[in-house]
């Protein structure tokens, strides 16, 4: 694997970077620029979803996702360049997700990015998908380092101290399931369909969050780790015991109860992270939430209350930039390109790529 290399880079007032994202079921391309320091702009934000392809299966099928990326990637990139009113020659760097994610899809986007970089003789920047989520708040809100990040998605649940580009200190992670998986699997049990998270949130709006006494694993324990398998099991047992077919009130109440339990867990673990950092005399500039689950309104409200109590701003990117997108890849690429961190075309894609490893690669 070719590691990121710090090369001499001449500061320019403006950089233009194209980013490609294909790590799961979104084929996306974004183009961003920094007109001046602290003045970032999104020039193109194109996303082709695969909802219809995966809907019959109730979840993402890796082989189908990879084929869909192949079918859509050319049109998505072309549409992004048209929307931004730029040509490939005007782009300063090409960034692409190289992991973690479904490896077939990751390779589609990475090979597209490498081919474009080779043809145009532009720098190639390999992007860790999680780092892109971590840095999005700097694009949308110009958040200063260090900040506390709660990264919550279908495949990840972590608390991180974001110290600099490429420097992430993990404070806690899930011991079993990711929070987004808990949402999606529970939604499937309740017959809500796919994509589960947004449909469950919609059902919860008319439900009673105190209707079911669901467990809250790890709450109150030392440290900042998470656990969601027990909560998911409790939902399954309640569904199995309920009269069939499930009534609308049951589905709404269970959705609201699950959403409330997850919000309580996230708040408790994040509060512990603030306490841990305080003992180390580290005061984060903000509490940032990123990842697809960050689109959930109830979770945003609970975390807003927590950050207010901690005396720091709460930052959640726009919902369109919480789910997977090419803009966040382009922005992470721009931040890295600004530091002279580029990669060779021999950079290998990785299905697993912990953020902790970036520090070694960029040191």
Q: What CATH code is carried by the domain that includes residue 42?
A: 3.30.420.40
Task: Please check whether residue 73 is in contact with residue 21, taking contact to mean a CB–CB distance below 8 angstroms.
Answer: no
Interatomic CA distance for residues 257 and 239, integer angstroms: 13
Residue with tokens 């920047």: 125
pLDDT for the residue numbered 5:
47
Helix axes 62-84, 103-120, angle to 10 degrees: 30
Q: What is the mean pLDDT of residues 311-339?
A: 95
* Cα 199 off chain centre by: 19
How many domains does the structure of the chain reveal?
2
Residues 195, 272, single domain; the answer is yes
Q: Are residue 233 and residue 283 in the same domain, yes or no?
A: yes
Q: Is the pLDDT of residue 317 over 80?
A: yes
Q: With contact defined as beta carbons under 8 Å apart, do 34 and 135 qualify?
A: no
Do 106 and 13 sit in the same domain of this protein? yes
Alpha-carbon distances, residue 160 vs 40, 139, 272 (angstroms): 24, 18, 12
Residue by residue, DSSP assigns 219-263 as TT-SSS-B--HHHHHHHHHHHHHS-SSPPHHHHHHHHHHHHHHHH
Res 153: pLDDT: 84
Backbone angles phi, psi at 320, to 5 degrees: -65, -20
Are the CB atoms for 300 and 259 separated by under 8 Å? no
Do both 103 and 187 map to the same domain?
A: no
| DSSP-assigned beta bridge partners for residue 288 | 149, 315
Residues 6+ apart with CB under 8 A from 293: 152, 153, 154, 179, 180, 183, 197, 299
Q: Are residues 288 and 342 in the same domain?
A: no
Round to whole Å and give the CA distance between 226 and 253: 24
Q: How confident is the model at residue 57 (pLDDT cuts 50, 70, 90)?
A: confident
Q: Based on the fold, state whether residues 201 and 130 are members of the same structural domain.
A: no
pLDDT score, position 67: 95
User: Is the pLDDT at 7 greater than 50, yes or no?
Assistant: no
Mean pLDDT score, 195-199 = 89
Phi, psi dihedrals of residue 35, rounded to the nearest 5°: -60, -35
Do 263 and 330 share a domain, yes or no?
A: no
**268 and 332 share one domain:** no
Q: Is the same domain home to 255 and 270?
A: yes
Q: In whole angstroms, what is the distance from residue 274 CA to residue 173 CA?
A: 15
Confidence of residue 8 (pLDDT cuts 50, 70, 90): very low
pLDDT single digits (tens) 121-161: 999 999 999 999 999 999 999 999 999 999 998 788 999 99
Percentage of the chain beyond pLDDT 70 is: 94
Which domain range does residue 288 map to? 145-320
pLDDT of residue 14: 87
Q: In the predicted model, what is the mean pLDDT of residues 79-97? A: 97
Q: Which of 1-10, 24-33, 141-150, 176-185 has the lowest mean pLDDT?
A: 1-10
326 and 340 together in one domain: yes
pLDDT digits (tens, 9 = 90+) for 256-268: 999 999 999 999 9
Q: How does residue 99 score in pLDDT terms, banded at 50, 70 and 90?
A: very high
Of the pLDDT bands very low, low, confident and very high (cuts 50, 70, 90), residue 40 is confident
pLDDT for 29 equals: 98
Nearest residue to 54 via CA among 38, 74, 75, 68: 68
Task: Please state, in angstroms and rounded to a whole number, the distance separating the CA atoms of residues 107 and 350.
Answer: 9
Task: Based on the fold, state whether residues 243 and 301 are members of the same structural domain.
Answer: yes
| pLDDT at res. 360 | 58
Least confident of 74-83, 297-306, 316-325: 316-325
Q: Can you read off the two tokens belonging to residue 273?
A: 């992270």
Whole-number Å distance between alpha carbons of 34 and 139: 9
pLDDT of 229 higher than 60: yes
- The mean per-residue pLDDT over the stretch 72-83 comes to 98
What average pLDDT does this structure show over 234-240?
Answer: 97
User: With pLDDT > 90 as the criterion, what percentage of the chain qualifies?
Assistant: 81
User: Cα(330)–Cα(21) distance, rounded to whole angstroms?
Assistant: 9
- Is 357's pLDDT higher than 90? no
Kindly state whether residues 198 and 278 are assigned to the same domain. Answer: yes
Sheet of 26-36, strand order: 39-49, 26-36, 16-21, 93-99, 124-128
Q: Binning pLDDT at 50, 70 and 90, where does residue 363 land?
A: low
């Amino acid at each position: 694997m070719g590691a990121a290399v710090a090369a001499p880079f001449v500061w320019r007032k403006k950089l233009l970077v194209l980013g490609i994202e294909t790590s799961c079921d979104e084929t996306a391309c974004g183009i961003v620029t920094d007109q001046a320091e602290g003045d970032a702009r999104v020039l193109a934000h194109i996303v082709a979803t695969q909802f219809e392809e995966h809907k019959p299966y109730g979840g993402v099928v890796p082989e189908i996702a990879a084929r869909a990326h192949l079918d859509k990637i050319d049109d998505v990139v072309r549409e992004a360049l048209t929307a931004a009113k730029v040509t490939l020659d005007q782009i300063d760097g090409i960034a692409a997700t190289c992991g973690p994610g479904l490896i077939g899809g990751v390779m589609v986007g990475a090979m597209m990015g490498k081919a474009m970089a080779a043809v145009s003789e532009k720098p190639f920047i390999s992007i860790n998908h999680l780092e892109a989520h971590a840095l999005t708040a700097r694009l949308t809100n110009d958040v200063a380092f260090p900040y506390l990040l709660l990264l919550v998605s279908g495949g990840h649940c972590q608390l991180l101290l974001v110290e600099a580009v490429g420097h992430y200190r993990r404070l806690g992670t899930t011991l079993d399931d990711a929070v987004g998986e808990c949402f999606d699997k529970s939604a499937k049990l309740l017959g809500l369909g796919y994509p589960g998270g947004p449909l469950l949130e919609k059902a919860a709006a008319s439900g009673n969050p105190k209707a079911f006494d669901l467990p809250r694993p790890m709450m109150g324990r030392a440290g900042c780790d998470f656990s969601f398998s027990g909560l998911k099991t409790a939902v399954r047992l309640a569904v199995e015991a309920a009269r069939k077919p499930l009534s609308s009130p049951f589905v709404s109440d269970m959705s609201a109860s699950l959403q409330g339990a997850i919000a309580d867990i996230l708040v408790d673990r994040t509060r512990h992270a603030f306490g841990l950092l305080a003992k180390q005399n580290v005061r984060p500039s903000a509490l940032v939430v990123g990842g697809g689950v960050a689109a959930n309104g109830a979770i945003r409200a609970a975390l807003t209350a927590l950050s207010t109590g901690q005396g720091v701003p709460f930052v959640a990117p726009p919902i369109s930039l919480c789910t997977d997108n090419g803009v966040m890849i382009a922005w992470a690429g721009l931040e890295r390109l600004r530091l002279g961190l580029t990669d060779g075309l021999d950079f290998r894609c990785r299905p697993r790529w912990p953020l902790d490893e970036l520090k070694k690669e960029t040191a």
